[in-house]
Amino acid sequence: MKVEVYLTAKDTDDRLSKKADLELKQDSVREAAMVRADDCRTYQKIEGFGGAFTEAASSTLDKMSPANQEEILKAYFDKESGLAYSLCRTHINSCDFALGNYAYTETDGDVEFKDFTIDRDRKSLLPMIKRAQEMSDEPFVLFASPWSPPAWMKTTGMMNKGGKLKPEYFEAWARYYCRYIREYEKEGIKIWGITVQNEPEATQTWDSCVYTAEEEKDFVRDYLGPIMEKEGLSDVKIIIWDHNRDMLFERARVAYNDPEASKYIWGTGFHWYCGDNFDNARIHHEVFPDKQLLFTEGCQEGGPHLGSWDTGERYGKSMIHDLNNYTCGWCDWNMILDETGGPNHVNNLCSAPIIADTKNDKLLYQSSYYYIGHLAKFIRPGAEKIVCATTRDELEATACKNPDGSVAIVVMNRSDKEMP
């Protein structure tokens, strides 16, 4: 049986490089490190891998030459030369990686949405999404997250620095998601799922809104779920939490122990801005096996980190262990940022798999791009996670069986030891 080998390695030129094929054969040499993949048991079905369309990403794309714009989109969405992204995210209203605060209606008390418009998204964000759709050989799915309701709906009267949704606007805010989904549909963009709130436990200097676990559960049960169902949008997935792994199970427990709330919820989203806490995903699955787990955001914080190898290894570790703990999809944050790690309207600068040097029109591929590629390019939507085990602590591995019968095995060695 032929094995195709692709390699990314530090201190070499190998970056998702195709190496010589190998023949799979029996080998009883115990001195060699071994990785076993076995489809004797299957686990979760994979939704896909990808990254986020943000106003920061789209405005950075717009600053590059036509040739480099084409290269960026191919790098992510082309099946042959790129990573064939299949699961992507975008934001409802502004987020920190927008050029400033904005909402689709800024008019105080506009609960009928007379002034609702997505014209801001039409300038840059929507064109990027549409170009990506055209570039994709296979359609990708898109989920959307709000960072904050409009300022006039909040207790603080501002989008930044936390605050809560005013009770009198619960019903209008639930209808707001529906209106957003319908407006994107008119643009030819289907919203596959929504998260209730990005990082609902954090009062950030940027766009943010705080919900306790009880408040989020009640909002889904009494407003968002029933209103989406009434408006014919029950096929759109509702995802709770959308915050860190550390409190993943605790937040999910509150929502899923309420049957009336639980019936509307597809699954739980999570981020990595905490400790590893991989067991929390496993515990979530063991207690709530009918609910999905989706990694909805992760990036290297604190600037662009140009040339860092540790960034890629952080991605590889998370992706492998999340898949091994029942996660069905994995979504990076910004697809592209400029040389500063922005733009970001509150200077919350970060890295991205591709950094664009907008001053010199150059693309700087980071290690994270290649590490994502080892999973996104070879583990396709509809694949099933299968048994995977290694004989060395230094080797981290995962394996999936694709719908076409091929098996993708991803093996990472973060140590400095050679592993024959």
Please give the distance of CA 248 from its chain centroid, rounded to a whole number.
16
The pLDDT assigned to 275 comes to 95
From the candidates 55, 201, 297, 313, which is the catalytic residue? Answer: 297
Residue 183 annotated in active site: no
Torsion angle, CA of 404/407/408/412, rounded to 10 degrees?
170
The pLDDT assigned to 26 comes to 75
CA 92, CA 104: separation in Å to the nearest integer?
9
| Residue 164: other Cβ atoms inside 10 A | 16
Residue 171 annotated in active site: no
Please name which of 416, 410, 419, 299 lies closest in space to residue 8, comparing C-alpha atoms: 410
Reduce the DSSP state of residue 122 to 3 states and report it: helix
For the chain, what is the radius of gyration of the CA atoms?
21
DSSP string across 34-60: -EEEEEEEEEEEP-EEEEE--HHHHHH
Residue 240 and residue 220 in contact, taking contact as beta carbons nearer than 8 Å: yes
From the candidates 199, 201, 215, 313, which is the catalytic residue? Answer: 199
The pLDDT assigned to 28 comes to 65
355 φψ region: left (φ > 0), alpha (ψ -120 to 50), beta (else): beta
Global pTM value? 0.98
The pLDDT assigned to 30 comes to 72
Tokens describing residue 388 = 């995977």
Q: Using alpha carbons, list the distances in angstroms from residue 391 to 21, 31, 341, 397.
A: 23, 10, 39, 11
Prior bond of 146 cis (ω within 30°) = no
| Residue 12: other Cβ atoms inside 10 A | 9
Contacts 24+ apart (CB under 8 A), 306-313: 306/355, 306/364, 306/366, 307/366, 308/351, 308/366, 308/367, 309/10, 309/367, 311/351, 311/366, 311/367, 311/368, 312/8, 312/366, 312/367, 312/368, 312/369, 312/370, 312/371, 313/367, 313/371, 313/412, 313/414
Q: Please give the chain's pLDDT, 420 residues, in tens.
A: 899 999 999 999 999 999 999 998 776 667 789 999 999 999 999 999 999 999 999 999 999 999 999 999 999 999 999 999 999 999 999 999 999 999 999 999 999 999 999 999 999 999 999 999 999 999 999 999 999 999 999 999 999 999 999 999 999 999 999 999 999 999 999 999 999 999 999 999 999 999 999 999 999 999 999 999 999 999 999 999 999 999 999 999 999 999 999 999 999 999 999 999 999 999 999 999 999 999 999 999 999 999 999 999 999 999 999 999 999 999 999 999 999 999 999 999 999 999 999 999 999 999 999 999 999 999 999 999 999 999 999 999 999 999 999 999 999 999 999 988
